[in-house]
Amino acid sequence: MDKFDVILNKDSIQFGERRFFPPFKKEEVDSFLGEPFCYEWDCKIDGKTERRQTFLWPELGIRGYQNDSMDEYKAFAFFVEKGEYFFSEFNKIMNVFSGQILVGKKPYRRCKMKCEHLTSCTLRQGVFTLYTFLPEFFPVLEKEAPEFLEDAKKDSRVVEICYAPLKPKTNKYKLKKCDEEILHFDNFNFKLAIVQELMYNKKVLEPLFDIHEFAEEYSRRTIDIDDEGYEPIKEAVNWFKKLEIPARLADEVTELDMDAGDDIYLNICPLWDGEDSYFDLKKVSKEELSQFKSLKRASIMAENFKKVAPVFEELGIEVEDYY
């Protein structure tokens, strides 16, 4: 077969000029790539030995992962560099894939990928996820976790493309007007401290906000958490600003313990290091604080503690400085 490139689109994979849409029917793929070699091996799971198999095109440097019924492919692996692989049996039989692997029009190594915990690099493209390990991370890995370096090198020699359907959209984060009395807030950071207590600690305020889930469902633009997460993500900030909290939940707040590691902050600014005072209480009004009749004690993050503390003390609330 002549050399061909693989192009990963948002809804399909192209092998040269031939475009395949998921689910990838085995007979259709085989008609283009040729009859695959069925490789079998024994795998121990929970003390039991199971016979496993996969399909290979050794001369092309391609592996196909089939579904349980064996009539579709759910993923493909491309052996992009000669060397040692995780399956040592492949070391001698697999050729190197001779074409380019493109994400859209860009070679995959020039694409921006997530590299979580230095274990693998991933890229989401529509209904697909690409997995590999980028060599530029080798020096970092050698310094921070050298015991994983050899595995990372094996990963870098193979590019896997998996079909991963998008989760159906929900209305979970569509804010609704509250049909009862709501709490009033003059200061957003104080509201966030209350949300932490009600939503994440007591779990009486819904929905439980998850920034990764929110970003996945957000349709007006792509929210790249890895790129934007060092600053407050404006859409998350706006969501919490608009969130209405029923006044009946005020009695649930008996104490506040503000902490830089609180869920509320990491769901607004996921990569925040807690080193700045962005979420500090700059001020609190007597009107908003007096809504919480059951609040007896508070530990607050406030750079100007001496300015903020008297409002708590005036209402008989024991207050201490987080710092």
- For the chain, what percent of residues have pLDDT higher than 70? 99
Judged against a pLDDT cut of 80, whether residue 176 lies above it is answered with yes
pLDDT mean over 140-166? 91
pLDDT band at 224 (very low <50, low <70, confident <90, very high): confident
Q: Which pLDDT belongs to residue 227?
A: 83
Judged against a pLDDT cut of 80, whether residue 233 lies above it is answered with yes
Q: Which pLDDT belongs to residue 42?
A: 84
pLDDT band at 43 (very low <50, low <70, confident <90, very high): confident
Count of C-beta atoms within a 10 Å radius of residue 58: 16
Q: Which pLDDT belongs to residue 86?
A: 87
Q: What is the mean pLDDT of the chain?
A: 93
Residues 206-218 pLDDT 10s:
999 999 999 988 8
Residues 63-116 pLDDT 10s:
999 998 889 999 999 999 999 998 888 999 999 999 999 999 999 999 989 886
Q: Which pLDDT belongs to residue 69?
A: 87
pLDDT band at 41 (very low <50, low <70, confident <90, very high): confident
Q: Which pLDDT belongs to residue 234?
A: 96
State how far Cα 320 lies from the chain centre.
36
pLDDT band at 117 (very low <50, low <70, confident <90, very high): low
Q: What whole-number distance in Å separates Cα of residue 320 and Cα of residue 312?
A: 10
The closest alpha carbon to 184, from 286, 295, 309, belongs to 286
Residues 11-32 pLDDT 10s:
999 999 999 999 999 999 999 9
Q: Is the dihedral of CA 33, 64, 152, 227 positive or negative?
A: positive
State the Cα torsion 301-303-306-311 to the nearest 10°: -50
What Cα–Cα distance (Å) separates residue 239 from each residue in 123, 244, 250, 268? 27, 10, 20, 10
SS3 165: coil
Tell me the pTM.
0.59
Q: Beta strand 18-20 with 24-25: parallel, antiparallel or unpaired? A: unpaired
pLDDT mean over 271-300? 95
What does DSSP assign to residue 78?
Answer: E
pLDDT mean over 266-284? 93
Judged against a pLDDT cut of 80, whether residue 45 lies above it is answered with no
